[in-house]
Structures are given as C-alpha cells and as structure tokens.
Amino acid sequence: MFMGVAKAQPVANFTFTDSVCGTKTVKFTNTSSNANKFFWFIKGSFQTSTNLTYTFDSFKTYTVTLIASNNSGNTDTIQKDVHLFDYPQFTISPPPPAGCPGSVVFLLATYNSNFLYKWTPTSYLSDGYVHNPKASPIATTTYHLLVTDTSTKCFAYDSIKISVKPCNLPTAKFTHSKTSCGNFTVSFKNYSTKAHGIVWNFDDPASGTSDTSTIDTVVTHTFSGPGTYKVLLTAIDSFGLYPDTVSMYVGVDSVLKANIITAPQTICPGDVVQLISNNNLAKGGMVIWQPTNNLSDSSSLIVSAKPSSTTQYKLTYSRNGCSDTSSVLITVLAPPLFDILFDTVCLHTATFIHTVQNISSSLNFLWKLGDGDTSTKKTPIHTYAKPGDYNVSITATQGSCSQVSTRIVTVKPLPETTFSNSPTEIFIDNSNVTFIDGGHDITRRLWDFGDGITDTDSVVIHTFGDTGFYNVSLINFSPFGCTDTVSQTILIRPVILLYVPNAFTPNRQGPTENETFYLTCNDHLPEFHFIIYNRWGEKLFETFDQHFIWDGTLNGKPIEAGLFVWRMNFRISTEKGETRTDILLLYR
C-alpha cells in the first residue's frame, strides 16, 4: 500500500506594539509559519496582505484576527486585543498680568482624580505635585507641568509663563566732600531711595577696603595714594535682583611733580623731538605747554616739538587743586666738523685711531676701517692684517645731524727680521757667539743679548759671561718706522766634569759611599752608554742611564773580587762625542 508524506500544518501568529499612547495607527508584523495565504479581520472587514498597518478611528480596545493557510487548504487562526490610549487631556488656565516680584498667583490645571501632576521648577511654589499650586516668583519664570494618567500610564506636557515686572526699584545717589591738595580722606553721603542694602566700591584695592557693604548714610574713606578714583555706589532691592549703580570720579592728590621726559635734548635743525609728561599725571589733569610755537599741541601729555633754534619749553600741570611746573631746554646744534688724524700705519700694529678735533662723546660714531671691520667707539684701536691702501671713514651722528670724513690709510709692511748664531751649542769655556742679522729693507736695528748688553751692527760677536739661558732678541726698523722683533733662547752650558771611581767595596762593612759603583757629572749628557767586562771579556753590567748605581752583582749574585774593565761612550752635545775606558777594582 502506498503511504503519502504528511504536510506541515500552518501556525498563525503576529506581533504589534500594544498599549500605544496618543496614536491610532498600529503596525502588525506577521510571524506565522508553514503558510502562504493570510486573512486579516478588523472591525468586520478583512485584508489579504502578509503584514498590515491599520489606522483605527478611536481610542479603545479592538480584537484583531489572523487566519493563515497553505496550498493544501489547512488553516490556523489567532486573535489578539489591541489597546489604544489617548494622551491625558488637560488645560492650564491663562497666566495673570505681570506682577511685582514675590506676588502670589495660582497655577491652575484641569483636575482629574486619575491624573498625577508634577510642576518644575519647584522654587517659589507651595506644592509641586498638585493641580493648583501657589507661585510667588521674584523674576519672570516659565513653569512646566507633566501630567500622567495612572490608568493608562500615558503622559503629556504643557507650560505657563508667569511674568514679573520690576516694582519699587531702588535709586542710587550720593555726594562727597570737597577734596584738597594733600588730603586723602573723603566723606561720602548716601542719598539712595527704596534701597534695602548699599555697596560702596572705592576703586582702591591698595587701601584694603575697596568694597564696603553698609546701610550708613555717611561713610569715610582714606585713599591709599594720589590719583583719580571711580567711586561706585550700588543700591540693592529686597530680592537683590534689580540693583541700581551710580559712579563719580573723585580726585585726591599730594603735592604734584610735573616732570618732562624727552630724549635727545640736543638736536639738529629740522629734527622733531617728543616732549612727554611723567606718568603720574595720566589721570584727569590739565596740561599746558609753553611756548606754543613749533608744537603739535599745547594741552596733551605727549607733544611733538620742532624748534628752529634752542628753546626752553615749560609744562604746567594742574589737578584736584594741586599744580606744578617743569621745563626742559632743547638745544639745536649745527653738524659737527672733524677730520681723521692718521694716514700711515704699520702691519700687525695696534693703531690708536682718533680725529684731529676733540669731538664730544655725546655723539654716536661709526668707523668703517676699510677691511670690513667697523667700530662705534669714539677712538677705536685697530690692527690691520695685510699691507695695502684702505679707505677709512668716520660718521658722527646725533639725531638727524651727521658728518662724514674719509681718508686713504696706507698699511706698510713690516721689515723682514731673522737672525742666526754660531755655534748653536755653546759652553762657558768658549762662549763667543757670532750673531748675523738676515733681514732686508732695514734702516737700523737693535740687538738685546739678555745680559744687559745691546748692539746695532748687522754682524756681532758676543761673549756671554756665565752659564744659563739668555733671551736674545733683534728689533729691525723699516724706512717707514715699522718694527719687527724676533727672539731666541740661547743656552750657555758649563764645562762637563765627569768622575768615575777606580774601586769600590760592596761588603756592607765599609763606608756607605763605597758600597756601590756610580759616576758623578755636573750636567746632563744627551747620549750615554756604560759597560763593565771581566778579564775574559764577558759583559757583567750595561746601562744607558748616566745616573746608574751598580752593587757588584750579576743576576742577583755577588761577583768575586777582582779587576774589571769598563768602557763609556758619551756625548756632551750634538757636536761633541767621546769614548773612555779604564780599570775598576772590586774587593770584599
């Protein structure tokens, strides 16, 4: 018998947003399975779409039916209730006309026992959770109301603006006592009306009482120093919201000092100089400059003057019953005249550069020395590195007044200076030394042999009287008067005295000086070689140190007594060498 395959049964189902507040349109989402045909029944009508969006005509509960079927004719049905709720309906009574700060008004909303009420902000409200609280705002305030329907959980908002107009505002007013020169204490009298509080500001932090809160009619303040102060009086209303402020400048001064700051005070014709009054005159005073001719202004703190001749300007300053005067002399000078003194200098010679005339040190100087170097000193010192002609100029300036002088300066070469001496190694037993000047272009010379003796010949034979080092120098003079100097150290060495003993006794029994073998010499020997042989020609001892000490041992063992031969090669200079031999007796 043939068995058919069972078809899956359809399962009808759908979802939607339930308990919707304030909307009549609902979207239904079909979640059925094993079905391909759908029938929606709502309010006696039907639709065949898979999903459905439907707009109901009122807020209440509706039953929605969905039938799902397949091609085999199998069906499944499901019904669900849809709950539609409206927002809570209420109104707020219109606001009253604007009132004064703190006036009481009622906030009235429609009453419903199912409604919950919440007013914000809660400041200046009798109760924020009733439909009709009392409000007494001190400034214009917008109150917001949240109403919630406890049966549907739906809620709605509304708001009301309570306007507040300033009423009974204070008016600030005051006067002060007359100030006098040198008196820093001033009395202030308060004439403010409708004020619940007074705040003074004396524009004087240094006094320690810049701000003073008081309701006194008369207050006294001692200012910390001279000046013009902007004093403020603030009258406060009962709520502190609508203050009124009035200000007045009060000047107090000690004895004034009208100084004039200006630079330079010496100018050339056509120059403009600024005349500046000192800083402590910067507030509220009267300035008068005299004379007014050649001035940009006669009543400003800073004026420009362009005098055609030497003029004395006077400043008069007055403030707060005090006054003072000061003056400054503006000297108008002609350009300076001068000339450069020198025109020939020597190479590598520090030259003191100055002018023929004695020019004032108050001028500004610029030397251009012709080799790229400059100087701003009045009398610079300069050294030229190469011979030749240099264009040297000096510019002296003060303000716009200046003078330039130029001269060609010739830098002469130095005379060629060199010398030689013979011999180069000199001993006291033959200390005659020949010195030869090897220079050129020389008009004269001066030898200094370092022992107090000088000479002027080109070739000189000089005898040194003692051993030691001598600094020999030669100064050559050119036809232009330029000089050059060379120096050389000459060493006069003593006669070499060399002593070698012929016997010694290394037996630790005799005098200490006989225990070892050594030689004595009164000078350093540049080369030295010493060897001791026994009678069979075997080398027992060898050294290159002229300060050697031999204790009569070989490889740490004492040598037997006997006669030995020594040989010594040495050089007392690069030109003198010598070899000596002799007999040495060693006995114990």
Give phi and psi for 326, each to the nearest 5. -150, 160
Distances (CA, A) of 278 to 57, 262, 283: 89, 10, 11
C-alpha torsion sign, points 550, 552, 553, 554 = positive
CATH 2.60.40.10 fits 14-85, yes or no: yes
- Tokens linked to 69: 């079927």
Within a 13 Å sphere around the CA of 186, how many CA atoms are in the beta-carbon half? 29
The residue type at 199: V
What's the rounded Cα separation, in Å, for the pair 159 and 17? 30
**The two structure tokens encoding residue 399:** 């303000």
Q: What is the pLDDT of residue 486?
A: 92
Query: CATH number of the domain at 105-162, please?
Result: 2.60.40.1080
* Token pair belonging to 543: 């050294």
Does the domain formed by 498-586 have CATH 3.30.420?
Answer: no
Alpha-helix residue ranges (DSSP H) falling in 149-190 = none
Q: Does domain 260-332 have CATH number 2.30.42.10?
A: no
| Residue 269 confidence (pLDDT) | 75
Structure tokens at 85: 């709720």
What are the Cα distances from residue 564, in Å, to 495, 498, 536, 541?
A: 29, 20, 10, 11
Give the number of other Cβ atoms within 10 Å of residue 267's Cβ: 21
Domain 174-252 sits in which CATH superfamily? Answer: Immunoglobulins (2.60.40.10)
Report whether CATH 2.60.40.10 matches the domain 344-412: yes
SS3 512: helix
CA–CA separation, 97 and 103 (whole Å):
11
pLDDT of residue 431: 81
pLDDT mean for each 10 residues of the chain (588 residues)? 63 89 92 94 90 91 93 92 92 89 90 94 92 91 94 92 86 88 86 87 78 77 85 86 88 76 78 77 72 85 87 83 82 68 79 70 80 87 89 78 83 88 82 88 90 91 89 91 89 85 84 85 88 92 93 90 92 80 88
Q: Strand 302-305 relative to strand 155-162: parallel, antiparallel, unpaired?
A: unpaired
Query: Where do you find CATH 2.60.40.10 in the chain?
Result: 14-85, 174-252, 260-332, 344-412, 419-493
Query: What pLDDT is attached to residue 423?
Result: 86
Q: What is the pLDDT of residue 1?
A: 42
Which pairs from 202-205 meet CB under 8 Å and 24+ separation?
202/229, 202/231, 203/229, 203/230, 203/231, 203/232, 204/229
Say what the pLDDT of residue 364 is. Answer: 80
- pTM for the whole structure: 0.36
**CATH 2.60.40.10, domain 419-493, yes or no:** yes
